[in-house]
Amino acid sequence: MNQRLACLLHLATALAASTVATARAEEDSLAACIGRYTALGLSADLAYGECKKNTLSECVKNLMAGKYVASSIKHIPTEKNNKESGYLIDLGNTESRWLEGAQWAEKGCYANTTGPYKREETPKKGVFGKRKSYQWFRQGWCFNSSIELEQPYALEEAKLRCELGATPEKPKQANEFIIKIE
């Protein structure tokens, strides 16, 4: 247990250092951009505005070119034989992102059957005289703090995330690390 705690502490430290390095790189890039515009004779205020627009535009393009990353909204320490423990991932209001139980399982998660869901039945009866039923779940309990979906970000969603500085981290790096220590 102590080795696992040490590994998790190491992961948290590495992620924090990565975030600080990313912020410094963004600040350096912004300063260089402002320098280029002021060298052309623009005031520092106008240069800053142009550089922020360019940065926002690049951020939106990058998000829309990638896959949607859903992050956890709650953490309950993992317990054996308890499906409602670990990280609670919420896919948001967009129902087209919600996953069926098997799709949650493919992501290494359990569908949160007590949370919001959508149910539909096929209009035609099948071979045994019954309609087939489908359920999509908004939330799932996962062992990792985020999952990546095979869907892109919508324009408005990407723009809002970039404006708020809430761009997601790729989940694969953390997943690989956690798998190695378990």
pLDDT digits (tens, 9 = 90+) for 20-38: 544 566 677 778 888 887 8
Burial class of residue 66 (count of CB atoms within 10 Å of its CB; 0-12, 13-18, 19+):
middle
Rounded CA gap, 110 and 58, in Å? 35
Query: 0.95 exceeded by the pTM?
Result: no
99 and 138: one domain? yes
Total count of domains within the chain: 2
Q: Which domain covers residue 124, as residue numbers?
A: 69-151
172 in a domain, yes or no? no
Reported as a single tens digit per residue, the pLDDT across 52-91 is 777 888 889 988 998 999 988 988 887 666 677 789 999 9
Domain assignment present for residue 174? The answer is no
Q: Are residues 61 and 82 in the same domain?
A: no
> What type of residue sits at position 179?
I
Same structural domain, 76 and 147: yes
Give, as one character, the DSSP assignment of residue 152: P
